Chain A
Amino acid sequence: MTHYPIEAQLHWIVLAPLLGFALIGLAGARLGRGAVSLLGPAAPGVAFVYALDALQALRGAPEATVLAEPLWSWLDLGALSVSVGLRVDALAATLALVVTGVGFLIHVYSVGYMGHEPDGSYARYFAFLNLFTFAMLVLVLADNLVVFFVGWEGVGLCSYLLIGFWYRDLANSDAGRKAFVVNRVGDLAFVLGMFVAWRAFGTLDFARLNQEAHDDGGLATLCTLLFFIGATGKSAQLPLHVWLPDAMAGPTPVSALIHAATMVTAGVYMIGRLGGLYAVAPATLAVVAWVGCLTALYAGWVALAQRDIKKVLAWSTISQLGTMFVAMGVGAYASGLFHLVTHAFFKATLFLGAGAVIHGLAGEQDLGRMGGLARRMPVTALCTLLGALALAGVPPLSGFFSKDAILFAVGVSSVPGRSALCLLAWSAAALTGLYVARMMTLAFLGAPRSAAAAHAHEPRGTMAFALLVLAALAAAGGALGLPEAVAHGADRLGAFLAPGWAGAGHGPAAGAGGHAGLLEAERALMLRSGLLGVSVLAVGVLACTAWGGALEALFEADPGLAALRRAALGRFYVDEVYGAAVVRPLVAGSRLLWRVVDVGLVDAVVNGLARLVGLAAVALRPLQGGLLRGYAALLAAATVLLVVWAARGWFR
């Protein structure tokens, strides 16, 4: 057993953001703006350096090495013992680098973006953002489910705090609460899943769960399904996706970090983390693939109709997360993770670009009031364009390779209903190109449609820096995992990640193998998907420009089409269905319980008991009269009583 020096330092990855949070949170505005601007980004920066060290150690180590730093024993309750420890394998190292790297850039960006905030809320913002980074790293580095869940809830809390960051506006805090409540539904399932897992396998340790997993009596299926329900909450999949679009009420860098790049991918990471366990539950995997695919398609449709630039991106995030779940569901864990990484790059780029637009237009988010921004904000336009092309899957940008890997994996998988799944996945990919094209055209081409758009200004300093770096990553990130079909041994990310799941016994396909026939098929597929990406994009641009009038006439002519557009704009009324089916009955039921059961029954009983207790206390009062004789007499009487009680058997 080799020891790596970095193993004793792993805690710094987690501790650095926590210290940042503690410092900024406790000292707050007293630190001064400059110190907060330095400390805030420094925290994830330090964590990033340590994570890089861990990556170096892992790259030099044999395959499937796990760096571990046990910290302390937390609970020791009979059969259940929970220890707190950090664990870094290839998977965790990849995620940790994304979280700290992209996190660092977004912190830097925030220095500029939040520059107009008053000192107090500026400090509060960075404190929360550091706390989020800490919680996310706890989640990523956890070595068992309980610690994982601490991080899982921690990121949920930070998400809530940051969505409602501008809490003086009721709509924002409502959005925060919606996210919190919807996530609790998923978390309940997650906790139940933990109970089932402990019951079934007697451990909550990731390593042991993955190794000893078996599906006796369907318990593995049950607990993986419950975990997946938790993931639908956190990663905004059908049917618990409703909170993510509203979460755009938070500051845009928050949307980029939490609601695009990191937190919402926790569900995908969880499936990767429990890869061995999921591998023995093929039924769950099929559910995962299908739910992901339907979400991807549904969210793509909705994104097509949105008017708010951030909402378009939010729905696109839901759709892309669905695509990742498709990959996990067909067992192509490495491809799913690859897409997670590239998505973190290009979606963060898009959000930061949108943030630059919103910032430059003094808070305007409506696509209808933009237009022509490419001329006034060329750098932003270029960066956003790179992100958009990557998202649309245009070769050779990052998104093309990761999406291609997933589409290929679906094609060669053995998931139930493969052909239908294939068709839907391709349709979702096509939709992506359409809404991306629409968004880009409306925002950056044509003539300005408002005064703000006409006087937009380019971001400067930290914002421009972060945007440029991320755009470069979005463009070139695909180099991490070029498919085997392009060059032999080019899938470095896949080769790095795959051994982690090899020990699972059922080793799901980590991507395309080296089989010659498959290679040929993949090349053909790449050609097709590349063509699809480009052509759909072109159609989308045309539909918004040259064909715009004709399209509008078509909508007016056909009431069916118009209704479809309204439905897409209204998110297909899922929120309304929840309102009618869940919220309203709940409110009515609560009112009933309050008026009748609570006031009439519970309160009456409790108040009665309280009065009874009070009366008893009053009745006891004379016992404590303060007179010594009384006390002595009571002592004597008590002793006699006890003695008589003791001796009752003797005199019998």
Chain B
Amino acid sequence: MEWISAGRFAELSHGFPGDLVAIAPEVALATAACAVLLLDLGLGGTRGRGGGVVAALAWVAAVVALHRVLGAVWPGAPLAAQLALDLGGVLVFGLMLAGAPNGWVGLVALVGTLYALELVLARSGDPAASLFRAMLVTDRFATFFKVVLLLGTAATILASSVYRPMEDRRVGEFHSVLLLATMGMFLMVGATDAVMVYMSIELVSIASFVLVAWPRGDRSAAEASLKYIVYSAVASGVMVYGLSLFYGMTGSTNLADLTRFTTRGQPEAGVVAIASFLVLAGFGYKMAMVPFHFWAPDVYQGAPTPVTAYLSVTSKAAGVAIFARFVHAFTGGPSGSLVDWTQVVAVLAALTMTLGNLAALWQGNLKRMLAYSSVAHVGYVLMGVAAWDAPQGAGLNAAAFYLLVYFLMNMGAFAVVLLVADQVGSEEVETYRGLGSRAPFTALAMSVFLIALIGLPPTAGFVGKFQLFAAAIDHVNGVGRHDLVWLAVVAGVNTAISVYYYMRVVKNMWLEHGEEGVREPAMGPPILGHLTVLMLLVPVLWLGVFFGRVAQAARSLSLY
């Protein structure tokens, strides 16, 4: 005990208990991940006596957690709203339990997610803080993304509970890995140290590989996962090389030190630029930004649909968050930066949206089409990142708000794909012919989601896109020129292109008839699936009209 002095101990444990409290949501997620795994292991996923007890407890705990989330979002909510939410929770969670013998496993995972959500929301008003010797920060920017991530995770858990191939004994592992991936993304959105950046990205990546390869024995899933692993390895390698260059120059892995260094106008500016671009490869891969997007279509198509939905929403949001933080660090000062980051990001954004949209045009498989469309949407979001220094932080705020909206509409579209594939057994656009007459609610919901993805009113997609366009058009560079108007024009053209492939699906659903002779069964009532779609549909429409409060919440995001 002599080799560690008292002073050294104090230094090591600096801020220790407080920091742990600050990462309570992460701890909750990790705990839930372990609990899911152990419970599933111990109870064998059967509905034996133990399973029944856990199921009942999880049911109660989930309703309580939901109730507390409401308390955190809307303190002093009227009793009617509380009761309505509780009853809704009882219904939805009960349906999860009733749906499959091992439905309780997902429910336990959901409890962890909701609890973490409550913790995040309850601490959302806290001042920004740097934790663990500047490894992580908790600021409003991170908090907003954490809410989006948790909502995405919860929606994924719900969607996977109606995904038939999930009726498998190993669902405990699935949910455990899912929660760990979310935890990794939590670390990503708060990372302020190169080591933390790398570790969190790897945690997310490795968890993602497992999720993608989930259906054991499915060749396409295995192929997707392998491609993902190799591509990720190459991208990570490039990024670590860049990070190592930074360390070589600054002697520190800290992002704040990096900012100080890049904004000083060093003779090493060229190396700084090279290193920045190498690091960019890692983030680009995570966001599926052109030209680092090649993995995305193959992986999205091969992965089980809930996983595709999850990755296309959360992993992208986390990637954008960490990228925005780095751009902020690279360009921390008004001068001295060799690279005009605004224009670099703008060019990448233009490339990303254009390539994503062009590739999506001719896809016959809806999942693959949505994969390309998700690449295109990263392009739109990057428009906000490019305008990160627009007045009042409008760029980043618009990007954050758009990611929330994108979660709702994209997750909704994937949920419909999942439901239809479950009934019809195909993800081809052709199978959507005449869906409007066979399953009017599903078709209507899909139409709304697609219209929102185009960005038309009265949906949330319009509001989100409007803010992104406004941020780009309002952006003014150092010499007072509106330098991102061209990007808004490119985005407008791209939106026009995207109308074609989204509307093709809508047209198939409402204006075409199913093929003669092939009588598909009327879509049955997987009630939980429809409820999931409904829970995503309502906010897409609601935020299209009453966006004031949420947009306000997204407007006050500040980076630490």
Listed in ascending order, the chain A residues whose CB lies under 8 Å from chain B are 72-76, 610, 613-614, 616-618, 620-621, 623-624, 626, 628, 630-632, 634-636, 638-639, 642-643, 645-647, 649-651
With A631-B231, A631-B294, A636-B234 in contact, is A624–B269 under 8 Å at CB? no
A271 to B292, CA, bound (A): 62
- Asked if A618 and B362 sit within 8 Å, CB to CB, the answer is yes
CA–CA, A73 and B277, complex, Å = 44
A75 touching B548 by the CB < 8 A rule?
A: yes
Tell me if B231 and A639 are in contact (CB < 8 A). Answer: no
Q: Chain B contacts of A630 at CB under 8 A?
A: 294
| Least distance between B144 CB and chain A CB atoms (Å) | 19
Asked if B295 CB lies within 8 Å of chain A CBs, one says yes
How far does the alpha carbon of A623 sit from the alpha carbon of B290 in the complex, in Å?
12
Bound-state Cα–Cα, A614 to B277, Å: 32
Give complex CA distance A218, B294 in Å. Answer: 61
CA distance A288 to B327 in the complex (A): 60
Contact, CB under 8 Å: B548 / A74: yes
Whether the Cβ atoms of A620 and B227 lie closer than 8 Å is no
Given the known A-B contacts A624-B297, A632-B231, A634-B294, are A646 and B277 also in contact in the complex, defined by CB atoms under 8 Å? yes
Of A614, A617, A646, A650, the most chain B CB neighbours within 10 A belong to A646
Contact with A646, one of B297, B339, B362, B500 (Cβ below 8 angstroms): B339
Flag whether B276 is at the interface (Cβ < 8 A).
yes
Answer whether residue B359 sits at the interface, using C-beta atoms and an 8 A cutoff.
Answer: yes
6 A-B pairs in the complex with CB atoms less than 8 angstroms apart: A613-B497, A632-B230, A634-B294, A643-B278, A646-B277, A647-B273
Task: Select one of B230, B269, B358, B546 contacting A620, CB under 8 A.
Answer: B358
Taking a contact as CB atoms closer than 8 A, the residue among A76, A618, A624, A642 that contacts B294 in the complex is A624
Choose from B231, B338, B362 the contact partner of A650 (Cβ within 8 Å): B338
Q: Check B277 against A642 for contact (C-beta < 8 Å).
A: yes
CB-nearest residue of chain B to A625: B294
In the bound complex, CA of A638 to CA of B278 (Å):
10
Residue of A nearest to B551 (CB): A76
Chain B residues with Cβ below 8 Å from A634 are 291, 294
Number of chain B residues whose Cβ lies closer than 8 Å to a Cβ of chain A: 36
Q: Which residues of B contact A (CB under 8 A)?
A: 226-227, 230-231, 234-235, 238, 269-271, 273-274, 276-278, 280-281, 285, 291-292, 294-295, 297-298, 338-339, 355, 358-359, 361-362, 497, 500, 546, 548, 552
Contacts of B548 in A (CB 8 A): 72-76
Given contacts A73-B548, A646-B273, A646-B277, 17 further A-B contacts (CB under 8 A): A75-B548, A76-B548, A621-B359, A621-B362, A624-B294, A628-B227, A635-B235, A635-B291, A635-B292, A639-B281, A642-B277, A642-B280, A643-B274, A646-B270, A647-B274, A649-B269, A651-B270
Residue of B nearest to A652 (CB): B270
| A616 CB contacts on chain B under 8 angstroms | 358
Q: Which residues of A contact B274 (CB under 8 A)?
A: 643, 646-647, 650
Complex contacts, B338 vs chain A, CB 8 Å: 646, 649-650
Chain B: minimal CB distance from A306 (Å): 43
Q: Do B231 and A647 touch across chains, with their CB atoms under 8 A apart?
A: no
B276 touches A635 (CB 8 A): no
Are B238 and A639 in contact (CB-based, < 8 A)? yes
A634 to B285, CA, bound (A): 12
Q: Distance (Å) between the CB of B162 and the closest chain A CB?
A: 27
| Nearest chain B residue, comparing its CB with the CB of A627 | B227
Q: How far is the CA of A74 from the CA of B294 in the complex (A)?
A: 42
Q: CA–CA, A74 to B362, complex, Å? A: 40
Query: When the two chains form the complex, which single residue of B278, B294, B500, B546 contacts A623, counting CB atoms closer than 8 Å?
Result: B294
Q: With A and B bound together, what is the CA distance between A217 and B52 in angstroms?
A: 79
Q: Chain A: which residue is nearest B290 at the CB level?
A: A638
With A626-B298, A628-B227 already in contact, the answer to whether A617 and B361 are too (CB < 8 A) is yes
Distance between A631 CB and nearest chain B CB, rounded to angstroms: 4
Which residues of chain A are within 8 angstroms of B271 by Cβ–Cβ distance?
A: 650
Measured CA separation A78–B280 after assembly (Å): 34
Across the A-B interface, give the 6 residue pairs with the lowest CB-CB distance, nearest first: A650-B270, A638-B291, A646-B273, A631-B294, A617-B358, A642-B277
The one of B281, B297, B546 in contact with A635, judged by C-beta atoms closer than 8 angstroms, is: B281
Q: How far is the CB of A388 from chain B (nearest CB, A)?
A: 47
Most chain A CB within 10 A, of B270, B281, B294, is at B294
Query: Once the chains are docked, how many angstroms separate the CA of A614 from the CA of B278?
Result: 33
Question: Is the beta-carbon distance between A628 and B231 smaller than 8 angstroms?
Answer: yes
Q: Nearest chain A CB to B108's CB is how many angstroms away?
A: 37
The distance in angstroms between the C-alpha atoms of A286 and B131, with both chains bound, is 72
* Cβ A631 vs Cβ B227 within 8 A: yes
Nearest B-chain residue to A77, judged by Cβ: B470
Minimum CB–CB distance for B78 against chain A, Å: 14
A647 touches B270 (CB 8 A): yes
CA distance A617 to B292 in the complex (A): 18
Are the CB atoms of B273 and A649 closer together than 8 Å?
yes
**A617 in contact with B362 (CB, 8 Å):** yes
Q: Give min CB distance, B474 to chain A, whole Å.
A: 10
Q: In the complex the two chains form, what is the Cα distance from A628 to B224 in whole Å?
A: 10
* Minimum CB–CB distance for B340 against chain A, Å: 10
Contacts of A649 in B (CB 8 A): 269-270, 273, 338
A74 proximity list for chain B (CB < 8 A): 546, 548
Cross-chain contact A632 with B361 (CB below 8 angstroms): no
Contact B361 A643 (CB under 8 A): no
CA A624 – CA B359 in complex, angstroms? 9
A620 & B355 in contact (Cβ 8 Å cutoff): yes
B358 close to A643 (CB less than 8 A): no
Query: What residues of A have a CB within 8 angstroms of the CB of B339 in the complex?
Result: 646
Contacts of B546 in A (CB 8 A): 72, 74
Identity of the chain B residue whose Cβ is nearest the Cβ of A614 in the assembled complex: B361
Inter-chain CA distance A277–B347, complex, in Å, is 51
Tell me if A650 and B227 are in contact (CB < 8 A): no
Residues of A within 8 A of B227 (CB): 628, 631
Instruction: Tell me, rounded to whole Å, the shortest Cβ–Cβ distance linking A623 to chain B.
Output: 7
Asked whether, in the complex, the Cβ of A646 is within 8 Å of the Cβ of B230, the reply is no
How far is B278's CA from A634's CA once the two chains are assembled, in angstroms? 14
B269 contacts across to A, CB distance below 8 A: 649-650
> Which residues of chain B are within 8 angstroms of A647 by Cβ–Cβ distance?
270, 273-274
A651 to B271, CA, bound (A): 11
Q: A344 → chain B, closest Cβ, in Å?
A: 33
Q: Return the contact of B358 from the options A613, A636, A639 (Cβ within 8 A).
A: A613
A616 to B280, CA, bound (A): 27
Separation of A635 and B281 alpha carbons in the complex (Å): 8
For residue A538, give the distance in angstroms from its CB to the closest CB of chain B: 59
Question: Is there an interface contact between A639 and B294, defined as CB atoms closer than 8 Å?
Answer: no
Would A628 and B230 be within 8 Å (CB), given that A73-B548, A646-B274, A650-B270 are in contact? Answer: yes
A646→B227 CA distance, assembly (Å):
29
Question: A residues within 8 A CB of B295?
Answer: 631
Check B361 against A613 for contact (C-beta < 8 Å): yes
Write the nearest CB–CB distance from A357 to chain B, whole angstroms: 44
Minimum Cβ distance to chain A for residue B204 (Å)? 18
Q: Which residues of B contact A73 (CB under 8 A)?
A: 548
- Give CA–CA (A454, B39) in the complex, Å: 88
Q: Which of A623, A626, A631, A651 has the most CB of B within 10 A?
A: A631
